[in-house]
């Protein structure tokens, strides 16, 4: 088991860009195993054996990573088969994979809580003791959404089809499509009769993959869990914020990683995040 984990991690983090499903699976499994385990160690109970925590979190984080990988493959099937409905299937599977990794990083049972993000809305389904559903607002995504509502057109049909908040604009200074926290933006001129459904789907899945990358990084938020809980116990305002808001600290890490990937690149897809999005969406070709 230890040798297998070492091989997975070596392959996962030596891959600059994913060129086949084996490399893609190893990256996602390794990412989930490593960073979920780091979180579990941080959130370890005082008297809990370290070895036990590491052993449990490695396989649970790896499981979450594998489920995440499968969600990205389903997204690829959506564009290959021109099936918009597959995008919702991919979204649900991705939510399960992300939930497993977050639960593991919090040193909890990986089945304790599931969540799904729709735009700036986070719904949490708690299965521990009595079943309950909690709603949390994601403030960074909310601010981007408000800005988009003021400046651009909300695409209701595409939003319903994908489960993501989609807006459109007619500014040629911007690319065909882009992704910001909680929203996807299209150039309205991109929607015209000369484009096939598959071409539109390829661009959609590319941008949705960027949303999934954000979900990958959300487990880093769990590293602050202990500190936030301590603050909540001492301050009613912090306690209320913690219960009603999901603060997206992970965007700082994700954005920094994205910008570092852009240093000294020779073409657009030398950036790991763009290469991954291109790999699953078919836009590399």
Predicted confidence at residue 236, as pLDDT, reads 85
| Rounded CA separation 283/206 (Å) | 7
* pLDDT, mean of residues 241-248: 91
15-25 burial: b if 16+ Cβ within 10 Å, else e: bebbeeeebbb
Looking at the predicted structure, is the pLDDT value of residue 6 above 80? no
Rounded to the nearest 5 percent, the helix, strand and coil shares of the chain are 65, 10, 25
pTM of the model: 0.90
Secondary structure (H, E, C), 118-139? ECCEEEEEECCCCCEEEEEECH
- Condensed to tens digits (0 to 9), the pLDDT of residues 181-225 reads 999 998 887 766 555 667 788 889 999 999 999 999 999 999 998
Residue with the bigger pLDDT between 102 and 169: it is 102
Q: Rounded mean pLDDT of the chain?
A: 88
| Angle subtended by helix axes 50-80 and 272-281, to nearest 10 | 50
Cα(first)–Cα(last) distance of the chain, in Å?
38
The answer to whether 182 and 140 have CB atoms below 8 angstroms apart is yes
pLDDT category at 2 given cuts 50, 70, 90 is: very low
Helix (H) or strand (E) holding 278: helix 272-281
| Rounded CA separation 198/81 (Å) | 8
Predicted confidence at residue 130, as pLDDT, reads 83
| Rounded CA separation 74/94 (Å) | 10
- Condensed to tens digits (0 to 9), the pLDDT of residues 142-194 reads 999 999 999 999 999 889 999 999 999 887 777 788 999 999 998 887 766 55
């Amino acid at each position: 088991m230890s040798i297998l984990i070492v091989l997975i991690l070596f392959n996962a983090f030596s891959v600059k860009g994913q060129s086949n499903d084996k490399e893609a699976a190893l990256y996602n499994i390794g990412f989930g195993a490593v960073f979920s385990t780091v979180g579990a160690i941080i959130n370890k109970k005082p008297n809990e054996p370290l070895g036990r925590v590491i052993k449990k979190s490695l396989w649970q984080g790896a499981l979450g990573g594998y489920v995440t990988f499968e969600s990205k493959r389903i997204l690829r099937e959506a564009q290959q088969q021109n099936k918009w409905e597959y995008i919702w299937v991919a979204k649900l599977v991705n939510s399960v994979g992300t939930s497993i990794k977050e639960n593991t990083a919090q040193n909890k049972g990986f089945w304790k809580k599931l969540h799904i993000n729709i735009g700036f809305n986070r719904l949490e389904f708690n299965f521990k003791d009595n079943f309950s559903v909690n709603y949390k607002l994601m403030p960074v995504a909310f601010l981007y959404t408000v800005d988009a509502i003021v400046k651009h057109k909300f695409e209701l049909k595409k939003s319903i089809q994908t489960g993501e908040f989609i807006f459109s604009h007619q500014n040629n200074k911007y690319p065909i499509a882009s992704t910001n926290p909680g929203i996807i933006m299209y150039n309205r001129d991109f929607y015209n009769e000369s484009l096939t459904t598959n071409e539109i789907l390829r661009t959609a899945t590319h941008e949705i993959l960027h949303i999934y990358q954000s979900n990958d990084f959300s487990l880093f938020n769990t590293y602050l869990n202990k500190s936030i809980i301590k603050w909540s116990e001492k301050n009613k305002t912090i306690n209320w914020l913690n219960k009603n808001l999901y603060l997206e600290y992970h965007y700082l890490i994700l954005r920094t990683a994205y910008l570092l990937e852009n240093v000294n690149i020779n073409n657009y897809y030398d950036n790991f995040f763009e290469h991954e999005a291109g790999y699953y969406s078919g836009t590399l070709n």
